[in-house]
Structure 1
């Protein structure tokens, strides 16, 4: 099937799991209730709200409630209308034409037009961690009238039409951002959008308040009057807030040890969907600028000392889906199931380190490493890695930071030797995976990019070829070869999909009707009596 035919138009869909089927059927048979306040726990607290200069989870979840994208997506990641009502792709894949929704206003009353779209796409190309590759082939955006935007490319981008959600490519108001320092704009934390909810306040360390947009273009939506986004310091406090009724919804917020208990509570649903637009994936990344880690034999020895299947059982309580391949198993289209972990073998690992001249000292230690972890990782994963490496004489010193400090330490200061990251595969490997391994995506200060400082010309060639290949069979083969190449090179140890646990009160309906999961806009969400 040609790119043009595949991308022209799609049916709507709803992302559901077996656990949610009964509740979804009930909500479909009753009209959504109007009113009420949703209390939603998000962890950790984001540094800002709009996912413009960051792909951080908190921004990607909260931002789309205020600032929308051109499109939304069903469970198969087929695009559906949002700020764009229609779209077409030229036969050569070099021009994307969007018809924009008329009558939409920014929350400050200014009209939304194609000028906002053009400004946003070109801005994302410069400042968004994934946007640098997503829109790398964009040469310009034409705006022949206020309701038409035409994205022009130098080369095909078969993933582009899937990259236009509010969580990935937010459309921002040109009249507020133009001529300013985008990274430090106050509107990143106090957004003005077109979405179903209007930003009211952000009290650091406490909450964000959003209120219903009475002028939303998709009336009578949204249904709830307010959203209070709560920030609580630890998993036990978050679990207590849910159980007491002080909170209605939480994602990745409670200790995994509590999941089984919550599954038995009558007033809650435990949803374990790995939302396809996000496609959770975690990994241990080597800093290849660290002298001792330049030796692939050392990296292989470390990989043979970290039993990822055991990590899944001990740290993730068996709720994860491990994957030795850089493209995880959730991506059924491109995942290479034939890639396996190097065998867990402490004897081989110790022998390899001896052979590399890294003998144990009198205290049994060969060398030390600085071990960081993204706060989106379970801290117990860092403990697991530390204990694993101790068995082969490596002293991994855990350094724990809040999210903002972690990002600076890892991507600006590069003050780490190994780091546990949470770089999701996202909706397409060119967008979610390429950033991790593409040598041209190494840039000091760019969050969630090529933290390893990995450079392999063949890997670059495969990634770049896949990014423009419109034949699906050929594209898959390129990604298969890529996965094999990076597995052999060992710039990282892939953990796979960490558990995605959403705890939701049964009074909350239609909180995740799209493939974006909680990264949708909550316009359909309602609170039933």
Structure 2
């Protein structure tokens, strides 16, 4: 049978309770006489209206660190799926899976997935895109990336019976396979890389040849500018924006200054809006408009490596959860308009969300729980030792380029010190931070927010972040948890799926492999000289709707 979209294939749905937050922010902004503009357009898969005037150049700010013209440069790669390297399918602005290079697909058992490709898609050098490129892309990932198994590990074999049909045979049924493919199955050009001995050292511009509406043009490292040009032969037609220029900044503060001066048309950070403490100054600028977006994500999470002693003790993790002043964090980081998640981790509004234990600030309870499990201050230095009298120093890693994480780390350190737990802060540059979290796992605790993709990948419900079978920041390797994941991946019956969704949230509340600190709506500012801005729940403002609908006001 051909898969019909019932609304279940993406787990994050509009959050009705967060609507009240959006209203609160609107009221706040109106009080200071700012007209708040919430922009939206029709689906990016319908007919598009590019307006009477095209946009010659759109300048976007970003704080990524880009070092070279290389497929594996982490900072540069963040623009692949946004601009150049589109895959078989993708997310539309509402988070639904829609066709891209594949015009249709079907499965009968969620184990054998057949995708039918368009016959008019070309690489940016004019070579036709075929099914072989998608088979090669998986092989390329296996050979060159450390995280390939967390994404493609369930693929048993790939068939390419003709140039425009690619078949993925899975080891186990996967109800959530489309969500994985919408992000992970980006095409890699076989005709470019097949003769490259070491792709990680291949800095030729040809390494960035893609399939999307924009093609890489130039990277000026000294100026910190990446330039992309519209691809005239893109199968949907040429976008309304001729050139997209990415201007790189050292930190969000200098990027916000550039926005104020009109040097950039919008700041862009993947899955994140601007920090609320920038908003008062931005509100004074009549040239800026704003979108308030239900992010369907968590602003920051305290990730706990449950594979490290003593954090492998769930009672210790529970005790730590009571040491955090969640209300204070909401006020400091969301201007009081965020939401405090339950111990069940997933945001309210997620498909089949259930109420779990409320996260509560109770220092006395935290201390009492720590005492009861034998974590006491034996030597009188103010910090607790383990039951076998060993000193504890928990390291907390954070991305030093994200000022909110650095500030939050300092606050978490203070909270834990108040109950006698010693925390050492370890701010890392972006590249080292993600290598530490994704690959090395050499951390006790880490601070990072979630994304729409991250909450939906794997078996959904944030499992991609949690389970060792995926990225596994929480390093959970538990047969009970894995059984829930297997059920979510294979179950088609909605009532039974609803029970499994409740089970996974109750598991989080009981085991506390991570502590969700807050969720919040995103604020995305933009230059009002253009209209047609659209926010996509996965891509953000760098999305097809914006590309095809943006025009001069």
Q: Same fold (TM over 0.5)?
A: yes
The residue aligned with 2:388 is none
Give distance in 2, aligned partners of 1:378 and 1:90.
Answer: 42
> Which of 232, 253, 256 is the aligned partner of 1:214?
232
Give distance in 2, aligned partners of 1:416 and 1:47.
Answer: 25
Structure 1 runs not aligned, ≥5 long: 442-448
Residue correspondence of structure 1 range 257-268 to structure 2 within 5 A:
257-263=277-283, 265-268=285-288
The residue aligned with 1:476 is 498
1:125–1:133 contact (8 Å) kept in structure 2: no
1:280–1:500 contact (8 Å) kept in structure 2: no
1:439–1:456 contact (8 Å) kept in structure 2: no
Tell whether 2:172 aligns with 1:172.
Answer: no
Deviation at 1:270, TM superposition (A): 2.1
The residue aligned with 1:404 is 431
Deviation at 1:498, TM superposition (A): 4.8
Using the size of structure 1 for normalisation, the TM-score is 0.84
The residue aligned with 1:351 is 368
The residue aligned with 1:145 is 162
Inter-CA distance 208–90: structure 2 relative to 1 (3 Å threshold): same
Give distance in 2, aligned partners of 1:478 and 1:129.
Answer: 30
Inter-CA distance 53–465: structure 2 relative to 1 (3 Å threshold): farther
Tell whether 2:250 aligns with 1:233.
Answer: yes
Deviation at 1:499, TM superposition (A): 4.8
> Which of 405, 408, 413 is the aligned partner of 1:386?
413
Deviation at 1:91, TM superposition (A): 2.6
Give distance in 2, aligned partners of 1:389 and 1:189.
Answer: 50
Deviation at 1:233, TM superposition (A): 1.7
Q: Following TM superposition, where does structure 1 have runs of at least 4 consecutive aligned residues deviating by more than 6 angstroms?
A: 15-18, 27-30, 47-50, 125-130
| SS of residue paired to 1:465 | helix
Give distance in 2, aligned partners of 1:409 and 1:75.
Answer: 31
Inter-CA distance 48–151: structure 2 relative to 1 (3 Å threshold): farther
Moved more, 71-80 or 394-403: 71-80
Give distance in 1, aligned partners of 2:409 and 2:423.
Answer: 9
Tell whether 2:322 aligns with 1:304.
Answer: yes
Inter-CA distance 413–173: structure 2 relative to 1 (3 Å threshold): closer
> Pairwise CA RMSD of aligned residues?
3.5
Using the size of structure 2 for normalisation, the TM-score is 0.81
Tell whether 2:347 aligns with 1:329.
Answer: yes
1:141–1:150 contact (8 Å) kept in structure 2: yes
Tell whether 2:310 aligns with 1:288.
Answer: no
The residue aligned with 1:368 is 393
1:207–1:230 contact (8 Å) kept in structure 2: yes
Deviation at 1:415, TM superposition (A): 3.8
Deviation at 1:48, TM superposition (A): 7.4
The residue aligned with 1:490 is 512
Q: Residue by residue, what CA displacement relative to the aligned partner does 1:198-247 show, whole Å, maximum 9, x if unpaired?
A: 1122344722111222322222x212221111111222211111111100
Give distance in 2, aligned partners of 1:33 and 1:501.
Answer: 27
| SS of residue paired to 2:109 | coil
Tell whether 2:4 aligns with 1:5.
Answer: yes
| SS of residue paired to 1:451 | coil
> Which of 265, 289, 305 is the aligned partner of 1:269?
289
Deviation at 1:39, TM superposition (A): 0.8
2:65–2:75 contact (8 Å) kept in structure 1: no
Give distance in 2, aligned partners of 1:123 and 1:319.
Answer: 44
Tell whether 2:548 aligns with 1:524.
Answer: yes
Deviation at 1:402, TM superposition (A): 0.8
The residue aligned with 1:41 is 61
Give distance in 2, aligned partners of 1:136 and 1:468.
Answer: 16
Deviation at 1:47, TM superposition (A): 6.5
Give distance in 2, aligned partners of 1:103 and 1:399.
Answer: 50
Give distance in 2, aligned partners of 1:487 and 1:183.
Answer: 41
Give distance in 2, aligned partners of 1:473 and 1:48.
Answer: 50
Give distance in 2, aligned partners of 1:500 and 1:379.
Answer: 19
1:48–1:189 contact (8 Å) kept in structure 2: no
Deviation at 1:314, TM superposition (A): 1.4
Give distance in 2, aligned partners of 1:329 and 1:62.
Answer: 28
Inter-CA distance 20–372: structure 2 relative to 1 (3 Å threshold): same
1:69–1:83 contact (8 Å) kept in structure 2: yes
Inter-CA distance 282–463: structure 2 relative to 1 (3 Å threshold): farther
Q: Residue by residue, what CA displacement relative to the aligned partner does 1:257-291 show, whole Å, maximum 9, x if unpaired?
A: 12244345332222231456xx4453112233443
Deviation at 1:513, TM superposition (A): 6.1
Deviation at 1:361, TM superposition (A): 4.3
| SS of residue paired to 1:291 | coil
Tell whether 2:449 aligns with 1:430.
Answer: no
Give distance in 2, aligned partners of 1:187 and 1:280.
Answer: 38
Deviation at 1:249, TM superposition (A): 1.0
